Every structure is written in C-alpha cells, then in structure tokens.
Structure 1
C-alpha cells in the first residue's frame, strides 16, 4: 500500500490497459489552464517516433467513463496530433479530493505550471484539504514565505494574471503591480506591453503612482558633485564650451515616440519605402519622416 500526499491510503494498481480515447475526459481539477501548442506538437512527434513510454493514469468515475489523473499533455498529443483511437492507461480508484490533489501535485513536480497556475494550485490544495500555509509548505518541501508570496499573485486583476500565464509579463512584473488597484494594474499592464518596460522601470513608475510626492522629491535631489582636481599652476587650461544639457524623455513623450515608431513600422511593413531619422536637440526630440510621393 502507498500513501499519497495527504496520508490517505490508495490501492497500488499497475495494470496497463488500452482504453478508447472517446471514453476519457480531462481532469476537472486540472490546474494547468494554458497548453502550449508547439510543445504538444513536439511531444506528439516524440511519441510517434518512440511510442508512449509512460501510460496515462485515469480513474473510472462511472461505468465505462474515465477521468485523467495524470498525463493530460500526453492525451492531448495522441488525440489532437496523432488521432489515436485507443491509449494505454492505468485505471485506479480515487475520490474527488484525491484526484484534485494528484493532478496538482503531478504538475508541480514536473514544473509545468506558470506562477499564477501554481498559486491557484496551492490555493486549491489548501481549500480542499483544510490546510494552513505552514502545513502546505511543510508537505511540499517549501518555506511558508514561498507559499505566501505565490498566493499573493491571486490578488492581481484577471488581465494581469492572464498576462503572466501567457508569458506576456514576468512574475516579478506582477509583484510590482500588487501595489496598485485593479484599474491601475490593467493600465500599467498596457504600458509594460507597449513600452517594453523592465521590472525596474515598472517599480519606478508604480512608486510614482503610489507616492508621487516622494518620487518627485527623489528625482529633485541633486547628485553629489565629484571632488574637483586642482589644475597645475604652471599652465592654466583653456576654457571649454559647456556641452548642451540633454533632457531625458518623460513618460508621455516616451509613449508618443513609441507610438510613432510602431505606426512607421506598419507603414514599412505595407511595402512603402519610408525614410526616417531622429535628432536629440536638448529640449526637443525631433523625428523627421520622408514619404515618397510616387
């Protein structure tokens, strides 16, 4: 007999049988919400070349009908890409809560979940098994702070969570956005995508939104001047003209410039030969565009 994660005993069944794919459904408790099509195609190619080396694991939830416990990616590969009518499977007996736990644990062990999917999986495990963060952390071999930080991602707005799952922004971007309300999070998500903001850029802008006075004061604080090196007394150095001070683009100007560049790219992609050049004239950033008349 073997013990699962939560201490319940289950019968160790290793008999492999071939089941019709039409009688199998995905796990209702599958934590993975995004399946990369390219990865499924690669897996299908491997299975086509070498066969299915590891059968899927299913449970019979009613007579002649089965639910996947482990191996949904393999199931998708052979059904959507290879058009198999039957698939090797191990049929086991398992209750709903055990099926949910096994689906989550299998994905966590294979490191196939996005940070948001992982957070949702932890939350589901805690809810279904009445577990505290400390108890869950001990069970999965992580620190409580690790679990708590993952669960905080669930406080992000739905668009931001979806962006993390799809790889549009990173988990670190998401953690910076936690300081904003849902509407601000969505607005910042658009800026990150449009301007290609780094995590550092995002953190700075979020700080300006949350505490504009402190951010303005920090920007206004002059940097300490370097110590002057005394000139030799024998010969005075000729005075040099002071270089013109160039100002960095502010956020609105940067958005405007990026919008112009994206529009130019669309024009160029249409086949029109457009010339452009950029000039930084201190207080003005100039974009010169030449469009042919013919």
Structure 2
C-alpha cells in the first residue's frame, strides 16, 4: 500500500527536534477525518484552564494543505481550548504529507490518544481500512489489538444510525447496541425507543430482543445453567453448610450435670467448623454418592493421635 500504517511517527527526525512555529488560529481548520464527533465541553473548559495556568506543554501538529491554510493532524482539543482562551496564534509543528497520509495519521493519533466512543472507534477503524486497503487482521496487528476486538467494534456499524447516535450520546451503552444487532431496521428502531423510554438494563434488553426473535430468554438460560451447575456441585460434594451446622455429639464419658443444678455451656462454633471429623464426614458422604452412582470405590482408613488418614482407590476401568 502507498502509505504504511506501521511507520507513523518513525520519520528521521521526531517532533521534539522539529521547529515549533506560531500559526494564526484563523488559518487552522479541523481535520475532516477527525473520528471524534462529540467533544466534552466541560473537558475542553478544564483543558483551557490548565493551558492558561501552565501554558501549552505540547504543540499541535499541522500540515499546510494550501498556501497559508493549515489542517490539524493532532491536537484538536488543544486547538479548541486555545480558541476558548481567545489566543491569536497556536504553537505548532508543520508536517509535510499528502491528503492520504494526513487522513490516516489523524485517525491513528486519535485512536491512540483519545477516549473515543465505541461507534467513533468503529468508524475510525473502517476509514483506516478503506484508506489503506487493510484487512481486519492487518489493522488489528498495526493497532496492537486482537482481530476479534476490531471485528466486534466494526459490527456496531451494522446498527441503524439512530442506535449509533444513541450510543454516541451515551443514552444507551455499547452492550445495549450489541443486543440489537440481529434485529432488522424497524425492530431496531422500536427496540431503541423501548430501551430509552423504559430505561432497560442490558439483560432486560437481551430478553426483549429474544422475545422479538422467538428465542429462549437469556435470563432464563442463565438461571438454568446456574441451577445445573449447583446440582453438579451438589453431586460432587454435599452442602458443607448443612454439615457445619450439625452439632458435635457429646462423648459418653463426659459427666452429666447433677439434678437441680443448671450447667451453662458456651457455644463453640469455631471448634465445630474446624473439627477434622467434619471434613472426614464430608469426604465419606462424597464417596457414598460415588458408590451409589455405580462406581467401585475402595477406602482404607487409619486414625492415630495426629491425623485421620483416608486412602481412596477408584479403578480406572469400571
């Protein structure tokens, strides 16, 4: 391809060595390939205050697209902040590059530095692919992302414009949008109204989409999986909670309290919970479940002053 995505910023002399010049703000225009569509006014105001107090720490990067006319390559937020401060000129570095290079570099700069919305990010990926004839795999490698990450972002562009705009405006989340991907245009439009008006959660949205498409409800599927998992765990090991609440039998040798005198005994839950016999009893119940299920299990038990020893043998061939 004519312009290498992977050579951005690898020129012979970097920005720190390039000459910084003052360019009049009224000679500067935003980059037409700027992926950010929504600028946070409060964020720009805060940036303006910082620049006013400490100065501009990093010059913006421009290119001269015609005589005395400059297009922003990197630094549109700084440019907007300087306009807010009513500066007449902006410290800038002038780069020489073609329209193609300028567009690609502006997209990459913003993808790497800006907190773009999911839709803005997807649009930037699509423009980079179109400008440089890139595959998803090549783009992902150049951006340091997985191919599945890029593919999932690009899928958002299949949503109708009103849904994309709702994500841009933070009225719904990216996950809300993903839930609507299998709907047709009319269904997406109706679902968007339902989500916004009723303030549906992502899970509620997924359920509503499933109803629309005649599919099992994700919430019910999740409950069934959780119940199946609980049954599976119960089959492997009995519920420890029930075992832990079973009181330890009083030894027969323990003297009984005399009649007429009440003997107060403090509860010792810690002793019950940490009693090794409880653990041994739980293991034995698991062994019984295995034998009841048809497995051949042989155990050898040894009890000495220090430990309970239990050897379990299960033949590989049943």
TM-score (norm 1): 0.69
Aligned twin of 1:70: 74
Q: Which runs of 5+ in 2 are unaligned?
A: 229-318
Distance 2:64 2:187 in 1: 46
Would you say the 8 A contact 1:117–1:165 is kept in 2?
A: yes
Separation in structure 1 between the aligned mates of residue 213 and residue 100 of structure 2, nearest angstrom = 42
The 1-side partners of 2:140 and 2:179 are apart by 24
The correspondence of residues 44-59 of structure 1 with structure 2, limited to 5 A, is 44-59=48-63
Q: Partner of 1:122 in structure 2?
A: 125
Q: 1:142 to 1:182 in 2, by over 3 A?
A: same
Q: CA deviation at 1:10?
A: 4.6
User: What residue in structure 2 maps to residue 41 of structure 1?
Assistant: 45
- Equivalent residue for 2:5? 5
The alpha-carbon deviation at position 4 of structure 1 amounts to: 6.3
Query: How far apart in 2 are the matches of 1:189 and 1:198?
Result: 12
* Cα separation, 1, equivalents of 2:213 and 2:126: 28
1:45 positional shift: 0.9
Matches within 5 A, 1:219-258: none
CA contact (8 A) 1:24 1:66 kept: yes
Runs of 4+ displaced beyond 2 Å = 3-13, 221-224
- 1:6 deviation in Å? 3.9
**Equivalent in 178, 183, 187 of residue 184 of structure 1:** 187
Offset of 1:184 from its aligned partner? 1.3
Q: 3-state SS of the aligned residue for 1:83?
A: coil
Which structure 2 residues correspond to residues 95-244 of structure 1 after superposition, within 5 A? Answer: 95-211=98-214, 214=216
Q: How many residues align?
A: 218
CA distance in 1, matches of 2:55, 2:192: 43
Unmatched runs of 5 consecutive residues or more in structure 1: 225-294
Q: Give the 3-state SS of the residue equivalent to 2:94 in structure 1.
A: strand
CA contact (8 A) 1:10 1:93 kept: no
Larger Rg: 2
- CA separation in 2, counterparts of 1:37 and 1:58? 23
Which of 25, 32, 37 aligns to 2:36? It is 32
| In 2: Cα distance, 1:186 partner to 1:102 partner | 35
* Distance across 1 between alignment mates of 2:85 and 2:37: 22
Which residue of 1 is the match for residue 26 of structure 2? 22
How well do the aligned residues superpose, as a CA RMSD in angstroms?
2.4
